[in-house]
Amino acid sequence: MFKEKVLEVVKSIPEGTTLSYKEVAMRAGSPKAYRVVGTILKQNQDENIPCHRVIKSDGSLGQYNGLRTISKREILKRERG
């Protein structure tokens, strides 16, 4: 199922790095399903899935499970050391 593929791709993103929603969709096997990737991650409640490592293609951060962008930025900053 596509949802499981998306979550596995996101789980495999190394700490301190990011992928775009489009890159996640491509790696999960459906390159045009980047909006679906966003919906899947928005609904994710599993803290073991690092959704904060997925960003927009233009490099902007976007939302993180309903939190403000600054929260996502701070998490990534801590990971990058």
Residue 42 has pLDDT above 80, yes or no: yes
Average pLDDT over residues 2-22: 97
Residue 69 has pLDDT above 70, yes or no: no
Residue 70 has pLDDT above 90, yes or no: no
Q: Please, what are the domains in the chain?
A: 2-80 (1.10.10.10)
Do the Cβ atoms of 48 and 35 come closer than 8 Å? Answer: no
Average pLDDT over residues 10-28: 97
State the catalytic residue, choosing from 9, 51, 54, 55.
51
38 is catalytic: no
Residue 67 has pLDDT above 80, yes or no: no
